[in-house]
Amino acid sequence: MSAWTWLAVALLGGVGAGARFLIDSLISVRAVGDLPLGTLAVNTSGSLLLGLLVGLAVTGNALVLAGTATLGSYTTFSTWMLETQRLAEDAKSPAAVLNVLLSLLVGVGAAALGRSIGAHA
Amino acid sequence: MPHLDRREIAAIFLGGAIGSLLRVWLGRTFSTGVADWPWATFAINVSGSFALAYFATRLQERLPQSTYRRPLLGTGLCGAYTTFSTMQIEIVQMIDHDRYGLAGAYALCSVLAGYLAICAATALVRRVRVIA
CA A72, A74, A75, A80: dihedral to nearest 10 degrees? 130
pLDDT of residue B130: 59
**Residue B132 in this model has a pLDDT that exceeds 70:** no
pLDDT of residue B2: 56
Q: What percent of chain A has pLDDT over 70?
A: 100
- Cα(B89)–Cα(B102) distance, rounded to whole angstroms? 14
pLDDT of residue B1: 53
In B6-35, the residues whose Cβ lies within 8 Å of chain A are 9, 12-21, 23-24, 27-28
Nearest C-alpha of chain B: how many angstroms from A35?
16
Q: Which amino acid makes up residue B20?
A: S
Instruction: Look up residue B130 and give its DSSP letter.
Output: P
First to last CA, chain A: 29
pLDDT of residue B110: 98
**In this structure, is the dihedral angle defined by the CA atoms of residues B119, B108, A74 and B16, taken in order, positive or negative?**
positive
User: Which among B51, B84, B95 is the nearest to A43, CB-wise?
Assistant: B84
C-alpha distances out from residue A65 to A13, A83, A98, B16, B44, Å: 9, 28, 32, 14, 18
A2: exposed, middle or buried (Cβ count in 10 Å: 0-12, 13-18, 19+): exposed
**Residue B129 in this model has a pLDDT that exceeds 70:** no
> Considering only CB atoms, which chain A residues are within 8 Å of B56?
82
Count CB-CB contacts under 10 A for residue B2: 10
What are A5-21's pLDDT values in tens digits?
999 999 999 999 999 99
- Cα(A76)–Cα(A71) distance, rounded to whole angstroms? 9
**Cβ contact (<8 Å) for B79 and A54?**
no
Maximum Cα interatomic distance, chain A, rounded to a whole number of Å: 50
Instruction: Look up residue B26 and give its DSSP letter.
Output: H
User: Which among B20, B78, B82 is the nearest to A13, CB-wise?
Assistant: B20
Give the pLDDT band of residue A38 (cuts 50, 70, 90): very high
Q: Which amino acid makes up residue A17?
A: A
**Cβ contact (<8 Å) for A20 and B75?**
yes
Count CB-CB contacts under 10 A for residue B40: 18
Size of interface A-B (CB pairs under 8 A): 180
User: Which residue from A93, A79, A62, A64 is spatially nearest to A17, judged by alpha carbons?
Assistant: A79
> Considering only CB atoms, which chain B residues are within 8 Å of A83?
none
**Cβ contact (<8 Å) for A15 and B27?**
no
Nearest C-alpha of chain B: how many angstroms from A12?
7
ipTM: 0.96
**Cβ contact (<8 Å) for A14 and B114?**
no
Count CB-CB contacts under 10 A for residue B33: 9
- Cα(A96)–Cα(A35) distance, rounded to whole angstroms? 8
**Cβ contact (<8 Å) for A82 and B56?**
yes
Nearest C-alpha of chain B: how many angstroms from A109?
9
Nearest C-alpha of chain B: how many angstroms from A65?
9
Q: Which amino acid makes up residue A111?
A: A
**Cβ contact (<8 Å) for A10 and B86?**
no
pTM value?
Answer: 0.95
Length of chain A equals 121
pLDDT of residue A101: 98
**Residue B128 in this model has a pLDDT that exceeds 80:** no
- Cα(A72)–Cα(B70) distance, rounded to whole angstroms? 20
